């Protein structure tokens, strides 16, 4: 005879057994690796211990050598030096020894500061007596019309600076187009290369500039008055 209570008890037992089997099947072996729910995440990099602090050490700055430091550029006889120089001119006078490419700044008592210079090339030398009428630091350069006519490729104006042909200083002579000035081409010292101006290295022209005042007398000797070199250095 069918017993309803017995059937209900049996049904519950079967259901509980099915649930237990399903749970075991889902769990799998006890030692199985856990399922990665987000496999696209990359593991974090291994962190290393911080390095000890190292103070910044700059590479030593190498300055460019002075234009007068290379003997190939500036022969010893053209370096600035005090020499014996006999003259009746007053101290403070500038004498341009054109043929020997020297400039003398008279000190008096038979002494002068001698500088190596570059002078006018063949056909552009001149002589006479002038005076310094103007001084300028890092002067602009405006080539005169005579120079433009000979060299039309020259700039009509160039601002002062290291690349300017007039160099670091300029002293203008009377009402002429000539100047005593520096140069960005120190290898031309001792040569006849200019259009009539007198050039010194930037270091030397700065030294001369500090000694010279507006009104200083300047004597430019002609090429025909080549003098014996007075080279006894005093210091």
Q: What residues are labeled active site?
A: 181, 197
Q: What is the separation, in whole angstroms, between the first and last Cα of the chain?
A: 144
CA–CA gap between residue 21 and residue 18 (Å, rounded): 5
Relative to beta strand 111-116, strand 81-84 is antiparallel
HSE-up (13 A, CA, CB side) for residue 197: 23
User: How many other C-beta atoms lie within 10 A of the C-beta of residue 161?
Assistant: 14
Structure token digits, residue 135: 């001084």
Report helix, strand or coil for 210: helix
């Amino acid at each position: 005879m069918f017993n309803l209570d017995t059937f209900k008890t049996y049904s519950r037992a079967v259901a509980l057994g099915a649930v237990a089997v399903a749970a075991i099947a889902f769990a799998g072996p006890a030692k199985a690796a856990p399922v990665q729910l987000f496999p696209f995440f990359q593991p974090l990099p291994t962190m290393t211990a911080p390095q000890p602090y190292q103070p910044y050490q700059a590479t030593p700055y190498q300055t460019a050598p002075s234009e007068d430091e290379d003997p190939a550029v500036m022969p010893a006889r053209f370096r600035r030096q005090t020499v014996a120089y006999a003259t009746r001119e007053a101290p403070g006078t500038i004498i341009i020894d054109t043929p020997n490419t020297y400039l003398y700044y008279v000190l008096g008592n038979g002494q002068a500061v001698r500088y190596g210079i570059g002078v006018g090339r063949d056909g552009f030398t001149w002589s006479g007596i002038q005076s310094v009428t103007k001084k300028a630091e890092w002067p602009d350069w405006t080539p005169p019309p005579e120079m433009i006519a000979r060299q039309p490729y020259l700039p009509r104006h160039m601002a002062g600076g290291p690349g300017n042909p007039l160099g670091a200083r300029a002293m203008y002579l009377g009402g002429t187009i000539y100047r005593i000035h520096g140069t960005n081409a120190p290898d031309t010292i001792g040569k006849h290369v200019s259009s009539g101006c007198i050039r010194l290295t930037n270091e030397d022209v700065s030294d001369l500039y500090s000694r010279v005042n507006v009104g200083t007398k300047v004597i430019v000797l002609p090429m025909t008055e080549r003098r014996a070199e007075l080279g006894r250095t005093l210091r």
